[in-house]
Structure 1
Amino acid sequence: MSVLNLSPLFRPCRCSFLTASLVPSRQFSTSHIALGRQKNKINIPSKKALAAKARRKAAKAPKHIYHNEQMPLTDAVAVLRAVEVAKPNATYEMVIKTAMSKGTTIPKGRVNLPREAKPKREDKILVFATGQLAQDAKDAGADIVGGEELIDGVISGKHQATTVLCSSALIRAITPKLGRILGPKGLMPSERRGTVTDDIAGYIKKLSGSTEWRGDKAGAIRMPIGKMFFPPDDVIKNIRYFLSAVKRATGNEKDTESEIKSKGPKAVNAIKRVILSTSQGPAIQIRDF
């Protein structure tokens, strides 16, 4: 059989080899932008987000049976005494939460409770004064008394104190040198705190036998108010006395002496809640404050 006779047996191919080269191919990009998108980003939560998460967690936490309970003061003391019956040295702690509205300052003051809940700290008083004021400070019981010659001793650490007072005549002389030393420690004399005064003997007399209290930035005031072995009447008397002092300092009660010094009534920082608790006992809101 010849080649010409075999031609009918072969079917012609309709696909051309050129068609394969015409099919478009997909192009993959390896640019830096594409590679950057493939990296997993690490999200670092902000402080605001962390605070919100903490609030949600606290809201979901199991509450004590007395969490939303409001009691008269006498009943709250009785409940806490029953809870802490095995711990006579447990301490009552009172928390006073204030509103801290615009225009109010952080509440602070000094108080001499009828029966102290803890031993008082021995104050070491340093006074910058000269002349008769220096003599009055020594007679009142100040530990270190002097003028500008004490500055170098304070800077070097030779003269250390828990309270620093200054007369109005020397405050401008000591401020440039001691502001950076005593300021961070909270010891720098200032008129606002009452530690720049010409009645140094009166301030020292008020300082002895009293305890300083101070609220935080949120307006919460914490104070140990009594021991479990105290009679209930002594605990209640301490609480009433301290509440009265806080009310005068926050403008909720009239304080004639403070208004005279400030030449007008002070802004009222409203008291929102009063809570009494112990180390192992519940936190109970006081109804009659």
Structure 2
Amino acid sequence: MPKRGKRYRAILEKVDLQKLYSIEEAAALIPQIKSARFDETVEIHVRLGIDAKKSDQNVRSTVALPHGTGRAVRVLAIAKGEKIAEAQAAGADIAAGEEIIQEILEGRSDFDAVVATPDVMGAVGSKLGRILGPKGLLPNPKAGTVGFNIGEIVREIKAGRIEFRNDKTGVVHAPVGKASFTPEQIAENVRAFLKAVEGAKPESAKGTYLRSVYLSTTMGPSIKVNPASLHKA
């Protein structure tokens, strides 16, 4: 096990590793455990009571965080005709037709999210699936990134809507803010996120669904959160 630095050990002393913190208590600790000179991302990690090997138990959905993630998201919108202008007016950083597919095939990657209208998904899926798929950027109706209401989709993503899905071990990871956020903002984002994960529970999942919840900053220690505090005032 690598030896931790003096600063990290001092921060770690502020966290009771045996305690289950409420959402509000954990959020209040965030300003005390940040250690980097940059504005660290606040991350949430949720272990779910699912069998990730079964397709009917996989969890995938979206949530609009009340206070956003604190990160500027560059949105690429691929559409046709007037929908290109609609996406641009809604704030898309790049709004283009199918011609941009070739640019992406040639290496263009100046975007963090990709949305599309249904009438271009045939070309987008067949030509960009192997490039965008592994990065989690391929537009998908289940993720809310495909639709003719492309202006609305762009606005929601720019405002802080994020997609989440479980990994192969049944854990969901996501950003829920920045260390510079107030504890109240972090707590509200965490509550919104957990409610969305809870609402995405597969019908076939049995037993305890929210097994464990941890909050952490990019460079800081983890804080164990009591899942039951989600339903407490």
Question: What TM-score comes out, normalization by structure 1 length?
Answer: 0.56
Map residues 148-159 of structure 1 onto 2, 5 A cutoff. 148-158=98-108
Q: Is 1:145 equivalent to 2:95 in the alignment? A: yes
Counterpart position of 1:122: 73
Could you say what secondary structure the match of 2:229 adopts? coil
Map residues 88-103 of structure 1 onto 2, 5 A cutoff. 93-101=43-51, 102=54, 103=56
Q: Is 1:274 equivalent to 2:213 in the alignment? A: yes
Shift of 1:159: 7.0
Map residues 1-289 of structure 1 onto 2, 5 A cutoff. 66-76=16-26, 80=29, 84=33, 93-101=43-51, 102=54, 103-114=56-67, 119-127=70-78, 129-158=79-108, 160-214=110-164, 215-225=166-176, 232-250=183-201, 270-277=209-216, 283-286=223-226, 287-289=228-230
Q: For each residue in 1:26-77, what CA deviation from the matched residue of structure 2 results, as whole angstroms up to 9, or x when unmatched?
A: xxxxxxxxxxxxxxxxxxxxxxxxxxxxxxxxxxxxxx99444334445555
Shift of 1:97: 1.5
Shift of 1:210: 0.7
Distance 1:90 1:178 in 2: 32
Give the conservation status (yes or no) of the 8 Å contact 2:62–2:143. no
Kindly name which structure, 1 or 2, has the bigger radius of gyration based on alpha carbons: 1
Distance 1:160 1:202 in 2: 21
Counterpart position of 1:257: none
Distance 1:196 1:86 in 2: 39
User: Could you say what the CA RMSD is over the residues aligned between the two structures, in angstroms?
Assistant: 3.8
Unpaired segments ≥5 residues, structure 2: 1-12
The change in CA–CA distance for 1:246 and 1:85 in structure 2 (over 3 A counts) is: closer
The change in CA–CA distance for 1:136 and 1:95 in structure 2 (over 3 A counts) is: same
Counterpart position of 2:7: none
Distance 1:200 1:143 in 2: 13
Distance 1:236 1:212 in 2: 17
Could you say what secondary structure the match of 2:114 adopts? strand
Distance 2:93 2:27 in 1: 41
Distance 1:85 1:132 in 2: 46
Aligned sequence identity (%): 27
The change in CA–CA distance for 1:98 and 1:166 in structure 2 (over 3 A counts) is: same
The change in CA–CA distance for 1:172 and 1:84 in structure 2 (over 3 A counts) is: closer
Distance 1:149 1:108 in 2: 29
- What amino acid is aligned across from residue 97 of structure 1 in structure 2? R
Could you say what secondary structure the match of 1:195 adopts? coil
The change in CA–CA distance for 1:249 and 1:136 in structure 2 (over 3 A counts) is: same
Distance 1:107 1:90 in 2: 25
Give the conservation status (yes or no) of the 8 Å contact 2:62–2:144. no
Q: Which moved more, 1:232-241 or 1:195-204?
A: 232-241
Could you say what secondary structure the match of 1:192 adopts? helix
Distance 2:110 2:40 in 1: 33
Unpaired segments ≥5 residues, structure 1: 1-63, 252-265
Question: What TM-score comes out, normalization by structure 2 length?
Answer: 0.67
